[in-house]
Amino acid sequence: MTTLALIVFAIVCGWVAGGLANWAADVLPHWNRQPRSQRWHTLLVGPAHHYWTLPWYMRRRGVCPHCGEVLSRRRPIVEIVTGALFGLMAAHWGAAAVLPLGWLYGLFFITVTVIDLEQRRVLNAMLVPAAVFVAAISLLPFHPNPASMILGGAMGFGLFLLLAIIGRGALGMGDVKLAGIIGMMTGYPGVLTALMVGASLGAAVALLLLATRRATRKSTIAYAPYLAMGGLVAIWLTLGPQF
């Protein structure tokens, strides 16, 4: 497959993945709040037009052709961002074995970001499967080895747990656990890059909100998006060249 064909394929895969991220952002935050008898019905049934909106969104001004509901702009934005990210990863790594893994991590980070921005929650329903998956992947030769994975995860979790204790509620346990997952993904020393970038972005945004009086010292912000960005940067810069 030529580079151009690979990038086009990656963008299409990213669009499909963006629809999955939209689905997850709609379904997962409410999963545990529903009666057990309704959970699988919610999981398996849903109009595809609600999640893959690019073919019609602009033309119909956001009005779903399936049900007539006006859907938020989040949906096409997520599809575009995910497609662009997948395309950039394909251009960066080519057809390397790491590419599908990078796509999975990218999808995870985008979904976590959307849910935290909308719900101010980082879901165990995403974190626990991610931890199991990353632990299994660490056994493969092109990923941080188990020792590096464990050290990175422990460092990410431990440092952010300490910050959560010192900050007295400034960070939630979801953020702490997410830092541990990112540490597992990037290993050591990649976790240092991820946490430094994420913490710097979060601090910069917090200072900007304070300076513009859009927040006070007692305000809280959705922190997972900045951790996710740090994780993506670390995967791009630290992991990529090793493959």
Please indicate whether residue 31 or residue 155 has the higher confidence score (pLDDT): 155
**Residue 33 pLDDT grade (very low, low, confident, very high; cuts 50, 70, 90):** low
* pLDDT for 243: 40
* pLDDT for 67: 80
3-state DSSP of 47-62: CHHHCCCCCCCCCCCC
Could you report the per-residue pLDDT of 45-104, keeping only the tens digit for each? 567 778 999 999 999 988 988 788 888 999 999 999 999 999 999 999 988 888 999 999
Residues ≥6 apart with Cβ < 8 Å to 9: 1, 90
104: buried, middle or exposed (CB in 10 Å: 19+, 13-18, 0-12)? middle
The span from the CA of 54 to the CA of 228, in Å, is 24
- 139 pLDDT higher than 50: yes
**Residue 38 pLDDT grade (very low, low, confident, very high; cuts 50, 70, 90):** low
* pLDDT for 222: 83
The span from the CA of 69 to the CA of 85, in Å, is 28
* pLDDT for 23: 93
* pLDDT for 2: 67
**Whether the model pTM is above 0.95:** no
Report percent pLDDT > 90 for the chain.
59
Contact 220/205 with Cβ under 8 angstroms?
Answer: no
The span from the CA of 115 to the CA of 120, in Å, is 7
Please indicate whether residue 227 or residue 44 has the higher confidence score (pLDDT): 227
